[in-house]
Amino acid sequence: MRLEVDRERCVGAGMCVLTAPEVFGQDEEDGRVRLLDPEPAEVGDAVQVCPAAAIKAS
């Protein structure tokens, strides 16, 4: 699986970090998503729980 994040769309809710902390982080300055692993084996429900639809998986 390949992930992409749209930091401009991100609202900093942190649901992705709570769901898959090994894949996602939050920027300390603006709270927006940081992608730690663009090709993880598993992300659980992180894509579906993002309230801003800022994560795409292909």
Residue 3 binned pLDDT confidence (cut-offs 50, 70, 90)? very high
Residue carrying the six token digits 């939050």: 26
The dihedrals phi and psi of 13, each to the nearest 5 degrees, come to -65, -30
Q: In the prediction, which pLDDT does 26 show?
A: 97
Q: In the prediction, which pLDDT does 7 show?
A: 97
**Residue 35 CB: number of other CB atoms within 10 A?**
15
Q: In the prediction, which pLDDT does 36 show?
A: 98
Q: pLDDT tens digits for 16-54?
A: 999 999 999 999 999 999 999 999 999 999 999 999 999
Q: What is the pTM of this model?
A: 0.92
Domains in the chain, please, with CATH? 3-57 (3.30.70.20)
What gap in Å lies between CA 23 and CA 15, rounded to an integer?
A: 12
